[in-house]
A and B are shown apart, each in its own frame.
Chain A
């Protein structure tokens, strides 16, 4: 969680200061979900992500050096600079890709799960999407297919209450994404995303059920997105009040875990500070790695054909 937080703080600052181009969709505030779900991700499992994918990538084990180099558009990036923030993929880690189109990765996860099922593997495909993706028909269609064919998909909806720039209540007719899963016969749990321990427990229950029975499951993680939809030069509309944002920050999943670990004697305060220092150093190292990395050459990528 600390690595996710420090990575996205750095990414936001880099894009805002013009050191990197494009846009990033910061995951800050939502870390409890990726960390909790990622804790049950095993070698051989697969994952698809969405546009707000840095946390998911870190949870899948993608190295921050290669992620940061990707943000810098360099050859050392996990996609050799061809994809950028919205398309980070690392197939060696089972990370099939972040995605710029809302909801579009969900059928890829179901297809990957069908692939695993055809091969008889005891693996799980995790499909991360946001509550904004519930406006996309392909998400429902994919749930139908996963349920119809009992495919090993763990749908994880991160409900932050905002679909890009709209309040979810403005754009969704039902109150919970769990209801949508129920309509497709998919068992689900709704958990507080700021409680990483509970997210992990829920993900473990779901993954165990999928590994033993094959049928898909859904977890709806209720999370807080602290920042903007995306880092762009022009501010996007944000319906949230200063009070809303302050309350979101008080539900910080990192502070919550830190307090719990100190309270039960697992870690002392200096050890927590040390972990944070390591995360900051890893991100600084990643920036240095990225800046040292050369730009890619079109001739060495599929950017130069065969088309």
Chain B
């Protein structure tokens, strides 16, 4: 009989840090680069955990060179904002070298990108641009929504042989939850976080806890199935379509704007499949951020980013 792995309760942020340390411990090819390296990691791993200058293009490019030569670098970008400086290295190099070299080389690099709003950091530091990265063939993109998923997806990303961008919504940093030891979440697998029969609510990243709250709030009237894609590229279209075929309705909730978004892709994948399309009893709806730079001022930030109330409102409108 296999015993249940023990689970520790920890925060989302702690889960991510713990996994980096555990993976560095069990695989000497894992190394870490970042402008901020936890002192405990630096003490334990010495030259494998490197404090870097504020040079995102070079540091990201170094990760490509490390990955090409057998290492598994984890680059901590600190905020997706700074990663825009390193677009060339991610998009033109990390994402394409395997293909362009005719499969001679893999680039097993992980780029950790805290993202999203809610902390009053204004427009530059409150973005959720995972769809920009998901658009690029050759990159995989994950957006964990709980401490367990954070641990499981980051561990899978570090062990994966192609580049992965790990988006970490800052609003979830302090969220606590159980994290099973050695937890591994396969890339590309969605999870049904709550089963239901009236509406499929696909929620991404920071919207997942809010979606679960909304589902609970409406539970007397509407049975809501909450699906978390977890990996936004590649998207687990099978799980999403299967859910929509059961419920006949879909709402997608994401704190990124709807324009050219993951939410847009989810709706497209649902509607372009004739069997799923014929199961629809209502037009798909999206609950996303307004298409605006996120304001600093607190009430305005709340107005621009979607919340639980918008999710509840969208669902009520759908089942009316």
The interface residues of chain B lying within 8 Å CB-to-CB of A107 are 57-62, 64-65, 89
Q: State A114–B47 Cα separation when bound (angstroms).
A: 10
CB contacts under 8 Å to A, within B163-189, are none
What's the least CB distance linking B51 to chain A, in Å?
10
Q: Does A199 contact B (CB under 8 A)?
A: no
Q: Judge whether A118 is part of the interface by a CB distance below 8 angstroms.
A: yes
Nearest CB of chain B from residue A149's CB, rounded to whole Å: 8
C-alpha gap A149/B48 in the complex (Å): 12
Report yes or no: B68 in contact with A112, Cβ–Cβ below 8 A.
yes
* Candidate in A96, A100, A117 with the most chain B CB atoms within 10 angstroms: A96
Instruction: Give chain A nearest CB distance to B77 CB in angstroms.
Output: 15
Chain B residues closer than 8 Å to A114, beta-carbon distance: 62, 65-66
A166 close to chain B: CB less than 8 A:
no
A296 contacts which chain B residues (CB < 8 A)? 102
Which residue, of B57, B63, B102, B137, has the highest number of chain A Cβ atoms within 10 A?
B102
Does any Cβ of B come within 8 Å of A145's Cβ? yes
A9-17, A53-61, A76-84, A226-234 - the one binding chain B? A76-84
Contacts of A104 in B (CB 8 A): 61, 88-89, 92-93
A97 B57 Cβ-Cβ under 8 A: no
B234 touches A307 (CB 8 A): yes
Residue total for B at the interface (Cβ-Cβ under 8 A): 42
Residue of B with least CB distance to A77: B102
Judged by a CB distance under 8 angstroms, whether B297 is at the interface is no
Which one of A134-142, A157-165, A240-248 contacts B? A134-142
In the bound complex, residues from chain A placing their C-beta under 8 Å from that of B71 are 115, 118
| B70 adjacent to chain A (CB < 8 Å) | yes
Kindly state whether residue A106 has any CB partner on chain B within 8 Å: yes
What is the CB-to-nearest-CB distance from B3 to chain A, in angstroms, rounded to a whole number? 34
- The residues of A that contact B162 with a CB separation of less than 8 Å are 306
Which residues of chain A are within 8 angstroms of B105 by Cβ–Cβ distance? 89, 91, 96
CB proximity of B129 to chain A, nearest CB, Å: 18
Residue in chain A with minimal CB distance to B187: A306
Among candidates A80, A81, A137, A148, residue contacting B57 with C-beta atoms closer than 8 Å: A137
Q: In the complex the two chains form, what is the Cα distance from A80 to B104 in whole Å? A: 9
Select A101's contact among B73, B88, B99, B103, beta carbons within 8 Å.
Answer: B88
Does A116 sit at the interface, judged by CB under 8 A? yes
A110 interface contact, C-beta 8 A:
yes
Chain A contacts with B in 109-145, Cβ cutoff 8 A = 109-118, 137-138, 141-142, 144-145
Contact B31 A87 (CB under 8 A): no
Contacts of B100 in A (CB 8 A): 79, 82-83, 87, 89, 97
Residues of A within 8 A of B137 (CB): 307
Q: Is the CB of B102 within 8 A of A301?
A: yes
Complex alpha-carbon distance, A83 and B96, angstroms: 10
Interchain CA distance A101-B47 in the complex, whole Å: 30
Indicate if B55 sits at the interface (CB-CB under 8 A).
yes
Query: Is A145 touching B102 in the complex (CB atoms < 8 A)?
Result: no
C-alpha spacing A99/B89, complex, angstroms:
11
| A90 contacts B by Cβ under 8 Å | yes
Residue of B65, B99, B140 with highest tally of chain A CB at under 10 A: B65
Whole-angstrom distance between the Cβ of B164 and the nearest chain A Cβ:
12
**Quick check: is A302 within 8 A (CB to CB) of the other chain?**
yes
Most B Cβ at <10 Å: residue of A107, A137, A306: A107
Would you give the shortest CB distance from B46 to chain A, in whole angstroms? 10
Q: Is there contact, CB below 8 Å, between A97 and B97?
A: yes
B56 to A, closest residue via Cβ = A141
Query: Nearest 7 A-B pairs (CB), nearest first?
Result: A111-B65, A107-B61, A80-B102, A141-B58, A111-B62, A79-B102, A108-B65
Residues of B within 8 A of A (CB): 31, 47-48, 50, 52-53, 55, 57-71, 73, 88-89, 92-93, 97-105, 137-138, 140, 162, 233-234
